[in-house]
Amino acid sequence: MSQSPARFRELAAFTRDAMPRYRVPGVALGIVAGDDEHMATFGVTSAENPLPVDADTLFQIGSTTKTITGTVVMRLVEAGKLDLDTPLRAYLPDLRLADEGVAQAVTPRHLLTHTGGWVGDTFDDTGWGDDALSQMVGRMDRIPQVTPLGDRFSYNNAGFYLAGRLIEVATGESYEKATHRLLLDPLGMTRSFFFPSQAMSYRFAVGHIAADGPPKVARPWELARNANPVGGLASSVTDQLRYARFHLGDGAALDGARLLSAATMQAMQTPLLPMDSFGGWRGITWAIRAMGGITTVAHGGATNGQMSAFLLAPSHGFAVTVLTNADTGGQLQLEVVKEALRLFLGIDEPPPAHQTLSEAQLAEYAGRYAGALANVEVSVQDGQLMLQAIPNGGFPYPDSPPGPTPPPVRVAFVGPDHILALDPPNKDVHAEFQRDPAGRVAWLHFGGRARRRVEP
């Protein structure tokens, strides 16, 4: 008899007990374990207008949508309509970027591996018409180039405006229509929508700001339409398990229809470039990491007060998804995914040993590291290195005010230039400092973003 039901009951209880600690109003949890599937839902959709979360409740999955965009791109690659290594100007001849050399050379592969090098966290509102993406692409020449094309991984939302526009040009359809036709509909994802006008006729979760007290509804609910390929899908835990089944498989839908070849599915989950120096790799949209000797592929997402996690272990036929409706849901997800890996796969990695550095050694890292949505101040206090994120605003719309300033976080070194956060809201999150050719600390790679040091 399968042990997965008992293990899932334990995981569900763990999740329920963690919710009050992080003030998360609602959670949907799903597991694939071989032939078994399990779902559990907890809490409510909204602190103001509460309805019980159920298996069909729509949560915003945020940037997990990027893997959907990437999967559709790969369908078009197999159809011969796109090529990963052909410059974008073959498809978008009017493309203009801040760096003309980059505009001439950038390819779809750069987009899907986050190596474009321009400022990634750039958001704007170009309306709700079918030209929203084309208009946004027309504004990309205003986005500064930060690193050379292909030089390094740095999480890049703006690259997926271009990826979505490629889909439109290759299909002659809107991004949303093409994505439903080529992927969501064949997978039977009938509770997955891009438009608020669609989601509002079903039970859906609203985001909450809970980092600074009791949960308060976050507004606005929607992202701009041009952000749909970046992170605009609302989906249910039921549909997320359908999506997980597909990416655990060989490219066939549940009804046997062939959407992608097994070789393409494998290529998407193959490490292409390092994300960091402590074992993280990037595939085609997926983050890839070996944990306890088991390869995992994952993505997560964050919108205005909603956080999602999505992780696969293809060799074990395992998947976990956690959907939450609070900005504090990220820490809950880290704990739940870690517990799921322990219960179902036996992965229980001990925390890394902390290294002791002198105050003089720590002072080498102090300074301000600039990012689009938040700067990070690094300081030394009483022999302890501290990170303080300072939100800048600008999400989900350019005029959106900064969110609450989180508390400072203690960090410990666990390797050369490699740090581990010790406190919420980033507890157990890894990051690293990166050096320039002269050996000076020049970047902080934190939250997937390469933040340039601008003030020692």
Cα–Cα distance between 325 and 24 in angstroms, integer?
7
> Alpha carbon of 393 to those of 122, 304, 398, 401: distances in Å?
11, 12, 8, 5
Q: Which CATH architecture has domain 1-349?
A: 3-Layer(aba) Sandwich (3.40)
User: Is 83 strand, coil or helix?
Assistant: coil
Question: So what's the pLDDT on residue 456?
Answer: 56
- Please choose, from the candidates 434, 305, 451, the residue with its C-alpha nearest in 3D space to the C-alpha of residue 388: 451
Does residue 425 have a cis peptide bond before it, meaning omega lies within 30 degrees of 0? yes
Phi–psi pair at 67, nearest 5 degrees: -70, -30
CATH 3.40.710.10 residue spans of the chain: 1-349
Question: Which residues are bridge partners to 136 per DSSP?
Answer: none
Q: What is the DSSP string of 217-277?
A: E-S--SPPGGGHHHH--EE-HHHHHHHHHHHHTTSB-TTS-B-S-HHHHHHHTS--EESSS
Of 63, 174, 192, 236, which residue is the catalytic one?
63
Burial class (CB in 10 A: 0-12, 13-18, 19+), 216: middle
CATH of 359-455, one of 3.40.350.10, 3.90.1570.10, 3.40.50.10610, 2.40.128.50: 2.40.128.50
Cα–Cα distance between 424 and 410 in angstroms, integer?
9
Burial class (CB in 10 A: 0-12, 13-18, 19+), 425: middle
Task: Please count the CA atoms within 13 angstroms of the CA of 210 that sit on its side-chain side.
Answer: 29
CATH 2.40.128.50 residue spans of the chain: 359-455
Question: So what's the pLDDT on residue 349?
Answer: 87
Question: So what's the pLDDT on residue 1?
Answer: 52
- The residues, any chain, with a CB within 8 Å of residue 198's CB and separated by 6 or more, are none
Cα–Cα distance between 69 and 269 in angstroms, integer?
15
Cα–Cα distance between 205 and 26 in angstroms, integer?
8
**pLDDT tens for the 456 residues of the chain, in order:** 578 999 999 999 999 999 999 999 999 999 999 999 999 999 999 999 999 999 999 999 999 999 999 999 999 999 999 999 999 999 999 999 999 999 999 999 999 999 999 999 999 999 999 999 999 999 999 999 999 999 999 999 999 999 999 999 999 999 999 999 999 999 999 999 999 999 999 999 999 999 888 999 999 999 999 999 999 999 999 999 999 999 999 999 989 999 999 999 999 999 999 998 888 999 999 999 999 999 999 999 999 999 999 999 999 999 999 999 999 999 999 999 999 999 999 999 888 999 999 999 999 999 999 988 899 999 999 999 999 999 998 888 888 899 888 899 999 999 999 999 999 888 888 999 999 999 999 999 988 888 999 965
State the alpha helices, DSSP H only, in 106-205.
Answer: 108-112, 132-138, 159-171, 175-179, 196-199
Cα–Cα distance between 287 and 84 in angstroms, integer?
18
Residue with tokens 């036929």: 317
Q: What is the DSSP string of 280-322?
A: EEE-SS-EEEEETTEEEEEEEEE-SS-EEEEEEEGGGTEEEEE
Token code pair at residue 233? 């899908």
Strands 192-193 and 26-33: unpaired
Question: Which residues are bridge partners to 355 per DSSP?
Answer: 413
Question: So what's the pLDDT on residue 74?
Answer: 98
Using the CB atoms, write b or e for 273-306: b if 16+ within 10 Å.
eebbebebbbbbbbbbbebeebbbbbbbbbbbbb
Whole-number CA gyration radius for the chain: 21
Token code pair at residue 343? 């219960």
What sign for the dihedral angle of Cα 134, 138, 143, 149?
A: positive
Examine the residue annotation and report whether 308 is marked as an active-site residue of this protein.
no
Give the neighbor-by-neighbor strand order of the sheet with 26-33. 36-43, 26-33, 318-324, 307-313, 294-302, 287-291, 280-282, 273-274
